[in-house]
Amino acid sequence: ALSLAEAAVLDAWFASGGVRFCFARLADKAAVDRAQLDRAAWVKYFREAWSSQLYFFAEGDEVYARMFAPAFGIEEDAATGSAAVALAGVLAARRSQAEGVFTWHIDQGVAMGRPSRLEATAEKRDGRVVRVKVGGTTVVSAEGAMNVPPGY
Protein backbone atom coordinates (compact mmCIF):
# COMPACT_ATOMS: atom_id res chain seq x y z
CA ALA A 1 0.00 0.00 0.00
CA LEU A 2 3.04 2.30 0.36
CA SER A 3 4.41 1.49 -3.12
CA LEU A 4 7.72 0.29 -1.66
CA ALA A 5 9.73 -2.88 -2.15
CA GLU A 6 9.04 -5.47 0.53
CA ALA A 7 12.64 -5.19 1.76
CA ALA A 8 12.03 -1.55 2.73
CA VAL A 9 9.58 -2.68 5.45
CA LEU A 10 11.50 -3.95 8.49
CA ASP A 11 8.56 -4.52 10.83
CA ALA A 12 4.82 -3.88 10.99
CA TRP A 13 2.11 -4.04 13.65
CA PHE A 14 -1.24 -2.61 14.68
CA ALA A 15 -1.58 -0.51 17.85
CA SER A 16 -3.79 2.15 19.38
CA GLY A 17 -3.53 4.92 21.91
CA GLY A 18 -7.12 5.94 21.21
CA VAL A 19 -7.09 5.94 17.39
CA ARG A 20 -6.05 2.72 15.68
CA PHE A 21 -3.03 2.66 13.37
CA CYS A 22 -1.09 0.21 11.25
CA PHE A 23 2.58 0.96 11.93
CA ALA A 24 5.39 0.14 9.52
CA ARG A 25 9.02 0.61 10.48
CA LEU A 26 10.92 1.31 7.27
CA ALA A 27 14.59 0.83 6.43
CA ASP A 28 15.50 4.51 6.32
CA LYS A 29 14.32 8.08 5.95
CA ALA A 30 14.64 7.87 2.16
CA ALA A 31 12.11 5.00 2.10
CA VAL A 32 9.71 7.12 4.17
CA ASP A 33 10.07 9.95 1.65
CA ARG A 34 9.61 7.60 -1.35
CA ALA A 35 6.35 6.13 -0.05
CA GLN A 36 3.27 6.84 -2.14
CA LEU A 37 -0.20 5.59 -1.28
CA ASP A 38 -1.28 2.84 -3.67
CA ARG A 39 -5.05 3.23 -3.31
CA ALA A 40 -5.88 -0.11 -4.94
CA ALA A 41 -3.61 -1.97 -2.50
CA TRP A 42 -4.94 0.11 0.42
CA VAL A 43 -8.53 -0.80 -0.50
CA LYS A 44 -7.62 -4.47 -0.84
CA TYR A 45 -5.57 -4.83 2.35
CA PHE A 46 -6.41 -2.00 4.73
CA ARG A 47 -9.84 -0.48 4.15
CA GLU A 48 -11.51 -3.24 6.19
CA ALA A 49 -8.55 -3.99 8.49
CA TRP A 50 -8.52 -3.42 12.26
CA SER A 51 -6.98 -0.08 11.28
CA SER A 52 -6.89 1.55 7.89
CA GLN A 53 -4.63 4.44 9.01
CA LEU A 54 -1.03 3.95 7.88
CA TYR A 55 1.74 5.41 10.04
CA PHE A 56 5.21 4.66 8.75
CA PHE A 57 8.54 5.75 10.10
CA ALA A 58 12.29 5.25 10.23
CA GLU A 59 14.35 5.37 13.40
CA GLY A 60 17.75 6.97 13.66
CA ASP A 61 18.81 9.67 16.07
CA GLU A 62 15.27 10.95 15.53
CA VAL A 63 12.07 9.29 14.35
CA TYR A 64 11.03 10.41 10.86
CA ALA A 65 7.38 9.68 10.08
CA ARG A 66 4.44 10.14 7.74
CA MET A 67 0.76 9.19 8.06
CA PHE A 68 -1.96 8.46 5.49
CA ALA A 69 -5.62 8.09 6.54
CA PRO A 70 -7.79 8.03 3.42
CA ALA A 71 -10.77 6.54 5.32
CA PHE A 72 -10.82 9.73 7.42
CA GLY A 73 -10.39 11.93 4.33
CA ILE A 74 -6.80 12.72 5.32
CA GLU A 75 -4.38 12.40 2.43
CA GLU A 76 -1.42 13.05 4.73
CA ASP A 77 -1.17 14.51 8.22
CA ALA A 78 1.55 16.93 9.34
CA ALA A 79 1.53 15.84 13.01
CA THR A 80 -0.31 12.83 14.43
CA GLY A 81 -0.24 12.90 18.22
CA SER A 82 -2.48 9.86 18.65
CA ALA A 83 -0.08 7.78 16.54
CA ALA A 84 2.92 9.12 18.49
CA VAL A 85 1.28 7.93 21.73
CA ALA A 86 0.87 4.39 20.43
CA LEU A 87 4.33 4.36 18.83
CA ALA A 88 6.07 5.44 22.04
CA GLY A 89 4.17 2.80 24.00
CA VAL A 90 5.17 0.01 21.64
CA LEU A 91 8.80 1.14 21.31
CA ALA A 92 9.14 1.40 25.09
CA ALA A 93 7.50 -2.00 25.64
CA ARG A 94 9.99 -3.57 23.23
CA ARG A 95 13.00 -2.14 25.07
CA SER A 96 14.91 -4.65 27.15
CA GLN A 97 15.11 -2.34 30.17
CA ALA A 98 12.47 -3.04 32.81
CA GLU A 99 12.64 0.49 34.21
CA GLY A 100 13.16 3.93 32.74
CA VAL A 101 11.86 6.94 30.92
CA PHE A 102 12.44 6.93 27.17
CA THR A 103 12.06 9.88 24.81
CA TRP A 104 11.73 10.17 21.05
CA HIS A 105 11.67 13.27 18.84
CA ILE A 106 9.34 12.64 15.93
CA ASP A 107 9.65 14.71 12.75
CA GLN A 108 6.56 14.52 10.57
CA GLY A 109 5.03 16.61 7.80
CA VAL A 110 8.40 17.29 6.15
CA ALA A 111 7.55 15.58 2.84
CA MET A 112 4.30 17.55 2.54
CA GLY A 113 5.97 20.90 3.28
CA ARG A 114 4.44 21.30 6.77
CA PRO A 115 7.24 20.14 9.09
CA SER A 116 6.37 19.41 12.69
CA ARG A 117 8.18 17.96 15.66
CA LEU A 118 6.54 15.98 18.44
CA GLU A 119 8.21 14.74 21.58
CA ALA A 120 6.98 11.40 22.91
CA THR A 121 7.98 10.05 26.30
CA ALA A 122 7.16 6.64 27.75
CA GLU A 123 7.82 5.45 31.29
CA LYS A 124 8.34 1.79 32.23
CA ARG A 125 8.11 0.30 35.72
CA ASP A 126 8.54 -3.39 36.50
CA GLY A 127 8.66 -4.16 32.78
CA ARG A 128 5.35 -2.44 31.96
CA VAL A 129 4.68 0.84 30.23
CA VAL A 130 2.80 2.92 32.78
CA ARG A 131 2.73 6.39 31.21
CA VAL A 132 3.04 7.91 27.75
CA LYS A 133 3.10 11.64 27.03
CA VAL A 134 3.23 13.47 23.72
CA GLY A 135 3.66 17.18 23.15
CA GLY A 136 5.06 19.83 20.92
CA THR A 137 4.76 23.48 20.08
CA THR A 138 2.09 25.07 17.94
CA VAL A 139 1.77 28.08 15.70
CA VAL A 140 -1.36 29.95 14.68
CA SER A 141 -2.18 28.93 11.13
CA ALA A 142 -5.62 30.56 10.93
CA GLU A 143 -7.78 32.89 12.93
CA GLY A 144 -11.42 33.86 12.72
CA ALA A 145 -14.49 35.11 14.49
CA MET A 146 -18.05 33.88 14.60
CA ASN A 147 -21.15 35.94 15.31
CA VAL A 148 -23.91 33.96 17.00
CA PRO A 149 -27.43 35.34 16.63
CA PRO A 150 -29.10 36.37 19.93
CA GLY A 151 -31.06 33.56 21.52
CA TYR A 152 -29.29 30.84 19.59
Distance (Å, whole) CA 7 – CA 64:
18
User: From first to last of its 152 residues, what are the pLDDT tens digits of the chain?
Assistant: 999 999 999 999 999 998 999 999 999 999 999 999 999 999 998 888 899 999 999 998 899 999 999 999 999 999 999 999 999 999 999 999 999 999 999 999 999 999 999 999 999 999 999 999 999 887 777 888 989 899 88
**DSSP per-residue codes, 73-126:** TBS--S--HHHHHHHHHHHHHHSS-SSEEEEEEEEESTTTT--EEEEEEEEEET
Which amino acid, 46?
F
Helix %, strand %, coil % for the chain, to 5?
Answer: 20, 40, 40
How far, in Å, CA of 79 to CA of 66, rounded? Answer: 8
The residue count of the chain comes to 152
Single pTM value for the model: 0.87
